[in-house]
Structure 1
């Protein structure tokens, strides 16, 4: 029976910075700086352990068009490890690491096959004669908005056909709308597997045929929380098995804890320490975002301990720099403050004007354009999804109303 196996990964973003962190101990800081490289090493470890036939990397291997020498050198090192095992890698470049950039190039080993800026087909054959056609292209520039899916056409002469595409599934609002496609369009190509990239959340769009976003192999900020990894795929003449494998060295995690019984800063401290030790049992380095819900706002020492940052500082000081560290990256609380928008508008003309301004921001997608066009700010700020923008606006509105109502 003819069969193949491969690893499908995407969105490595090698050497990209972790965002939303400060005042880290040196050892944790170094772990974070190396985490994307460690995730790639873990992918290669799994490829070798399972003796796969090849590895697919579906775009955004590097974080930017001006990819660093460190990132390129780290990538070459891991590709050489694959080459020593006789495992080829099939690579496309996406919107972040498109081919239009200008960077000092480091030559890659011969087992690495980079797709050009034209749709191409790579042919793979096993010793037993089993053959695979792999179809893909690399972005010629950052903003690729054409429907490249129209160019994918199945060629004869192979037992299996795999499409590799770094792009946007229409209907999704969380990522840039590059190389758009619909699921029916993918299925109509009659490929055996679609190896997708671009979306940093793991997502299976279809099981037959498998159409999969593996997500990125290492979370880099609070929005990229939870286990991250790649897919181990085994294809047979009668079907396909797909298994998620975790590869992250460090995990972003968010926890909500009931704080309704808290009556002092001491009980808050003990509750936080209990959560930290529970998280530590995972055995991984963890960046923990801890939110204490249902806090009684009349217990001032509770709210002040959190608002002042003092409790966060104490928890961070207590944390030892061990392999399975748990670093509190954020400590917040909620008072369960609620309000009736319509009632407030009826009660005060001021609220009517306030909500009108907020609604205008919600309707205009370019409301944050000055920030993203600023030469310095855009280096440190990624454009936010529609969902994230709404969350920010809703939280800003809630904070404003709470502030005015408490006066």
Structure 2
């Protein structure tokens, strides 16, 4: 086998509109809307600088099936630059940008191979330096936005080929929660396929599910919301002469989404709370490593500040003040680099009254039984779902709310359950919702 190098990327989601963000300064909003294109540019530059023999792109190149002409032109420019350096690109389309999309069809340079949607297709990839064949690359695109068949079972390794085999698939392995069950398959399906490397897309969280063979989600290039926190990018894969692969993750995101918890146990006053928030925000700024930060704080734990935070007014006012300051920093100094910006996107309150919850849960009382039931539901998903959906059933008549409830995942149900427990503790404990030491 001949040694070679390739890049595995997925879920570019070009032209993501970021419509859910409100209150952003114009300069920051433009930067955010440009971030998916900037990440693509860095992907191309990485391929050139690292002398990659080829790239594989595992679906959802565009964010929407009716992608803008701007997005298509930017992608074509990226592929043209790779063509100038003789770097092939092997692409599949996913549920966001299926082959049936109505977008304008721009011609790609000859270095780009887009796999069809009827069955897996295969091409032979060569090493750029000498043209020696190094790998068989196979892939299948989504013909339509919804593919519920286990398309991984359609892949067939060539038993007579000594080359490294790479499969490109956009799908959900083992039914990962919170993601559409498109092209569903099991890890065992992939491990038994005979392929050496499964280049996966669809799940935006970077994951290595197996190393023998390699089954890898590279994650998306650029985080798009507070559900997609942490570094984002691609994998640079070096395959040695003995067929062993070495993976190196490379960051490509320009905007870094961050969730940070702030416990309130040791915060006795509103002033101490405000100072802690400001301190943590500056910590994130100092650790930004050249990325624009978008940050959300979650207040956790039990303490005397719980009634104040639960009220929400002070929380909202502090958030608006922090956003005003960040806006002023950018407007007062247009030359300030945006990677020095940290935008406070919101606060979440998951605090509780300053009570002995463990003691209450042992009491022979209505509240004690309620807390014990909540604790059981937290560890038993089916019970949790029954409780939440039963409590929300009166809202099912509202079409919008019905859609929201049907899309709730287990973590969101757990969050609702915990909030309900805290509210019940406040209302039913001796001191009531305004007290700090009810028992």
TM-score range, shorter chain: 0.7 to 0.9
Q: 1:202 to 1:56 in 2, by over 3 A?
A: same
**1:237 maps onto 2:241 in alignment:** yes
Instruction: Give the match for residue 152 of structure 1.
Output: 155
What does 1:325-404 correspond to in 2, within 5 Å? 325-337=341-353, 338=357, 340=361, 345=366, 359=386, 361-362=388-389, 384=407, 386-395=409-418, 397-398=420-421, 400-401=423-424, 404=427
Q: 1:66 to 1:234 in 2, by over 3 A?
A: same
State the shift of 1:343 in Å: 6.1
8 Å CA contact retained: 2:210, 2:216: yes
Aligned equivalent of 2:292: 285
Contact 2:308 2:314 in 1 (8 A): no
Cα 1:344–1:214 change in 2 (3 A) is farther
Deviation of 1:260 after TM superposition, in Å, equals 2.6
Match for 1:132 among 104, 129, 135?
Answer: 135
The correspondence for 1:168, drawn from 172, 180, 194, is 172
Q: Distance in 2 between matches of 1:186 and 1:367?
A: 43
Q: Is the 8 A contact 1:285 1:325 kept in 2?
A: yes
Distance in 2, matches of 1:37 and 1:17, equals 12
Q: CA deviation at 1:171?
A: 4.0
> Where does the alignment leave 5 or more consecutive residues of structure 1 unmatched?
none
1:78 corresponds to 2:109: no
Distance 1:45 1:158 in 2: 31
TM-score where L is the length of structure 1: 0.87
Please list every run of 5 or more consecutive structure 2 residues that lacks an aligned counterpart in the other structure: 331-336, 378-382, 434-439
Query: 1:107-158 CA deviation, whole Å, 9 max, x = no partner?
Result: 2222111001122112222325233211111101111111211211112445
What's the RMSD between the two structures over aligned residues?
Answer: 3.3
Provide the TM-score with structure 2 as the length reference: 0.81
* In 2: Cα distance, 1:192 partner to 1:121 partner: 14
Matches of residues 199-348 of structure 1 in structure 2 within 5 Å?
Answer: 199-238=203-242, 239-281=244-286, 282-283=288-289, 284-294=291-301, 296-297=303-304, 307=314, 309-319=316-326, 320-321=329-330, 322-323=337-338, 324-337=340-353, 338=357, 340=361, 345=366
Change in Cα spacing, 1:393 to 1:347, as seen in structure 2 (3 Å) is closer
Secondary structure in 2 matching 1:294: strand
* Alignment: residue pair count: 400
Of 225-234 and 317-326, more deviation after overlay is shown by 317-326
